[in-house]
Amino acid sequence: MSASAKLGGSSSSSLDEPKPEKGVFIVFEGVDGSGKSTVAKMVFDILSAEMPGRVVLTAEPTESFIGKAVRHANESGADELAEALLFVADRAEHTRQIRAWLAEGKVVLSDRYYASTIAYQGALLKDRLGGAKRAVEWLKAMNEPVIIHPDLTLLLTVSVKTAVERLKSRKDLTKFEDFRFLNDVDLIYRGLCMEDPSFHTLDASKPAQKVVQEAFLAIRSKL
Ligand code: TYD
């Protein structure tokens, strides 16, 4: 478990957080419409059958009062910096819970984690913070004291066109589900993937069963 490793793959950390020794922390990331929630649930069902009581499926934004505030901020059109800070606040609380599960030896599967903030808020705030690079740096710095570095980040990749088509067939789109916006999100995700060794890319244009099979090739090596 590489707890609190510095974002961006550098080896040192400014933190001396206690390291959860036993569990395994796996994160599912991807643009809306990539199918990550479906795949995370399928992986959870398979792993829980193999290891009853040892697997936890969790998600961000969470169901806590801060997670509710995040959703409220989005629905009420709150300031996007305020919203970014709320996502990180939600994560700080969530991380405390994840740390406890890992200390109990659980396999923790999280549907979204810090990379979602880097990618989504990076895309949203880039014009306001002097470009995508600066926005991403600020968001990484803010997340650094908050996160546990995942053992594995499964990035589900699909063309943004396909993702938006999938979303349109399901529901009304939110501000996070616009084609150009998701393209920016996708670019940031791909950049993170190049620099963070916990990332593993999955081709999410394939049927969910196939994506799950490929996910397990990476997951097994971490268990
Ligand atoms: P999503 O995973 O789609 O949850 P649900 O469908 O259950 O509401 O997350 C909601 C949206 O929040 C999604 O469009 C991505 C966005 N998001 C961010 O912008 N930043 C973050 O840090 C996280 C965790 C999510």
Q: Which domains does the chain have, with CATH numbers?
A: 29-220 (3.40.50.300)
Question: Which residue CA neighbors atom 6 of ligand 1 most closely?
Answer: 32
Ligand 1 centroid to 34 CA: how many Å? 12
Global pTM reads 0.91
Q: What is the CA radius of gyration of the chain?
A: 17
**109-161: pLDDT as tens digits:** 999 999 999 999 999 999 999 999 999 999 999 999 999 999 999 999 999 99
Q: Considering Cα of 73, then 89, then 215, then 40, what sign does the dihedral take? A: negative
Establish whether residue 113 lines the binding site of ligand 1, counting it when its CB lies within 6 angstroms of any ligand atom.
no
Range 151-174 average pLDDT = 92
Task: State the average pLDDT for the chain.
Answer: 92
| Cα–Cα distance measured from residue 212 to residue 204, given in angstroms and rounded to the nearest whole number | 9
Establish whether residue 216 lines the binding site of ligand 1, counting it when its CB lies within 6 angstroms of any ligand atom.
no
Residue 180: its pLDDT value, please?
94
SS3 content of the chain, % helix, strand, coil (to 5): 50, 15, 35
pLDDT band per the 50, 70, 90 thresholds, residue 15: low
Which residue among 60, 98, 140, 171 has the greatest number of ligand 1 atoms within 8 angstroms of its CB, and so is best to mutate? 60
| Cα–Cα distance measured from residue 208 to residue 93, given in angstroms and rounded to the nearest whole number | 31
Range 210-222 average pLDDT = 97
Contact assessment for residue 6 and residue 144, using Cβ atoms and an 8 Å cutoff = yes
Ligand 1 centroid to 113 CA: how many Å? 9
**55-89: pLDDT as tens digits:** 999 999 999 999 999 999 999 999 999 999 999 99
pLDDT at 18 over 90: no
| Cα–Cα distance measured from residue 151 to residue 143, given in angstroms and rounded to the nearest whole number | 17
Residue 10: its pLDDT value, please?
42
Establish whether residue 87 lines the binding site of ligand 1, counting it when its CB lies within 6 angstroms of any ligand atom.
yes
pLDDT at 170 over 70: yes
Residue 7: its pLDDT value, please?
63
Which of 18-22, 155-159, 179-183 has the least mean pLDDT?
18-22
Which residue among 176, 177, 182 has the greatest number of ligand 1 atoms within 8 angstroms of its CB, and so is best to mutate? 176
Range 32-57 average pLDDT = 97
